[in-house]
């Protein structure tokens, strides 16, 4: 099967760290309340940086690690639900900032927190049609600090800013994907561009019910497609939204929690950046090695879900 190989991976987060104690001075909450319900201890908020700045920071490092020139890219895709503008897209502004070729497609996709997984399949299709260039740049980035209501303790404690970028190429290798959506604007939504104040709106219990069903279901579908079992999988890399969601998904899969990589304690929920940030951190820590089998799964606004099973 023609699948994607991660040539490189990189992350970029703002320098400013906001702890649970910091939030307790703004809204009625405390460190113990947040940690026990979410597993989150701190997150990064932008100060004077745009979402494009975050994209560029991650993308530049990914290109350096890949050792390829911008001219070798067949396209640039940014997965985001918080672009700097309705138009132009973040991807077009990344193209200008990094001096990417002008004769390649650059565009954003919106699938909420599942965006990076949707982007992987989009890149795979793009490269399958490409005749000359072998590589594509995929960025997952969200700047959620500017769309959270700091008076709403049920949401403001959850989210952070960040970007993760990957340089990808197409080869004959293990690859299975599963994407889906269930149209719903009541459980999780964000106003579009306009004069009204734009905040994330979330029905927490509704999101939880959806997530603990979608994550294990997607994982089972990928295992069925591949003919593999959980014992064959080295790492499960889930969307880093909430520790309780991951713990419940693990129980429903009858999988050891140790197989699920978790880093929400340091970043919070960074939406489309969540999975690539986790992958980069795993490589940095020496946990993720070439040849290991990875099952990445996510869920997000839409409602969307998605997963990919691949060899690192």
* Residues identified as active-site: 113, 239, 269
Token pair for residue 122? 């989009």
Q: Helix/strand/coil (H, E, C) string of the chain? A: CEEEEEEEEEEECCCCEEEHHHHHCCCCCCHHHHHHHHCCCEEECCCCCCHHHHHHHHHHHHHHHHCCCHHHEEEEEEECCCCCCCCCCHHHHHHHHHCCCCCCCEEEECCHHHHHHHHHHHHHHHHHHCCCCCEEEEEEEEEHHHHCCCCCHHHHCCECEEEEEEEEEEEECCEEEEEEEEEECCCEEECCCCCCCCCEEECHHHHHHHHHHHHHHHHHHHHHHHCCCHHHCCEEEECCCCHHHHHHHHHHHCCCHHHECCCHHHHCECHHHHHHHHHHHHHHCCCCCCCCEEEEEEEECEEEEEEEEEEC
């Amino acid at each position: 099967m023609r699948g994607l190989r991660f040539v490189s991976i990189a992350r970029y987060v703002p320098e400013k760290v906001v702890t649970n104690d910091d939030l307790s001075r703004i809204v009625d909450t405390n460190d113990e309340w947040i940690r026990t319900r979410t597993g989150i201890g701190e997150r990064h908020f932008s100060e004077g940086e745009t979402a494009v700045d975050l994209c560029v920071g991650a993308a530049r490092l990914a290109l350096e690690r890949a050792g390829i020139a911008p001219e070798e890219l067949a396209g640039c895709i940014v997965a985001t639900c918080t672009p700097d503008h309705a138009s132009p897209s973040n991807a077009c502004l990344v193209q200008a900032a990094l001096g990417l070729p002008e004769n390649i497609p650059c565009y954003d996709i919106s699938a909420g927190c599942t965006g990076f997984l949707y982007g992987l399949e989009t890149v795979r299709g793009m490269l399958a049609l490409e005749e000359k260039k072998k590589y594509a740049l995929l960025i997952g980035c969200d700047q959620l600090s500017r769309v959270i209501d700091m008076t709403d303790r049920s949401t403001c404690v959850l989210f952070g800013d960040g970007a993760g970028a990957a340089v990808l190429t197409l080869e004959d290798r293990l690859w299975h994907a599963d994407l889906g959506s269930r149209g719903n604007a009541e459980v999780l939504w964000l106003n579009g561009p306009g004069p009204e104040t734009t905040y994330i709106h979330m029905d927490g219990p509704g999101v939880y019910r959806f997530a603990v069903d979608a994550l294990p279901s997607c994982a089972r579908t990928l295992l069925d497609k591949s003919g593999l079992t959980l014992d064959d999988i080295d790492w499960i890399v889930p969307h880093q939204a909430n520790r309780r969601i991951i713990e419940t998904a693990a129980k429903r899969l009858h999988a050891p929690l140790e197989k699920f990589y978790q880093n929400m304690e340091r970043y919070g929920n960074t939406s489309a950046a969540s999975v690539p940030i986790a992958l980069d951190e795993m490589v940095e820590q020496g946990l993720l090695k070439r040849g290991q089998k990875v099952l990445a799964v996510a869920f997000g606004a839409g409602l969307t879900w998605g997963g990919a099973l691949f060899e690192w």
